[in-house]
Amino acid sequence: MADRETSTNGLSRRSFLRGAASLGSAALPGGTLPHGQQRPAGPPFRLAMCNEAFASEKEKQSFAETCQAIRKAGYTGIEVAPFTLSDDPIAIPAAKRREYASIIRSEGLTFAGLHWLLLTPKGLHVTAPDKALRERSWLHMRNLIDFCADLGPDGIMVLGSPQQRAVTGGLSKAEAAKNFTDGLAGIAPRAVERGVKVAVETFSSRRDDVAIMLADACAIVRQIDSPGIRMMFDCNNESDEAEPHATLVDRYFDLIEHVHITEKGGPYPGTGSYRYKPVLSVLRRRGYQGWLSLEVFDFSAGAGKIARESFKYIQSEIATLE
């Protein structure tokens, strides 16, 4: 997330760090530092976990129990899927929202944001040809911005939900993409007002989507040109990208506000073959200050084990960074 600390000359801390890093890398050919000089470590990574593993049919843990387990495993943030709290999260009253926010804080966690935004209530679709349906769906997104801000400051809203934004109803991909971009532009002012960032998630293997590749998301974000609309990187979703993930993260770093850590297909980190270190190295070098958020789809190992083993594995990968 954006660093709001500024120096007396008006430069942001992130800009200062980038400048310092570029000076350091220019010290010797190839970015090598003078003998005996160590490259300053980047800001420590912040690790969060998505809550749905604890809300599955197998687990059905309360929100307080979920927060306790996530914090006990070592994470400092929680990312929430709204459907785990209610079939109609917008209808959750203010008092209950304050209760959720209080639980997060009391368990020593920070609210990272929301994901799976359009799964409930049923029937939402943000690119459909039906204008009334689109308007209702984007109103839901606008209301979710308020819900997100009520749970905690500086929240990220990961806009994935591929079924609810796929090209449908006889539209061309260009028409669907315009509906998607126009809808995002419409909610951008509310996101800025409430201190929320909506991050476009990509799905490189879904040919019926409006933002397949990271380049697509980048084009949409740049067209809207609002601090409230950004993009994110998901280790699982970029399998069909032609270039190495580290190269892509480096290219789009300035627009990436959030990172999902997972294995291809949804098991927990360390049980698959994904190589996290190249991506983590770029994030460390570039001074990434957002969340590394664990998202898992295969809950068969049990939520507690998933949380503990994933945290240990991610930390072991971070520990090997230069």
Q: Is residue 209 pLDDT above 60, yes or no? A: yes
* Domain residue spans of the chain: 46-319
Quick: pLDDT tens for 242-283: 999 999 999 999 999 999 999 988 899 999 999 999 999 999
Give the pLDDT of residue 233: 97
**With helix as H, strand as E and coil as C, how does 46-109 read?**
EEEEEHHHHHCCCCCCCHHHHHHHHHHHCCCEEEECHHHCCCCHHHCCHHHHHHHHHHHHHCCC
Give the pLDDT of residue 13: 39
* pTM assigned to the model: 0.86
* Band (284; pLDDT cuts 50, 70, 90): very high
Give the pLDDT of residue 106: 98
Say if CB 256 and CB 248 are below 8 A apart.
no
CATH number for the region 46-319 comes to: 3.20.20.150
Say if CB 288 and CB 18 are below 8 A apart.
no
Q: What is the mean pLDDT of the chain?
A: 88
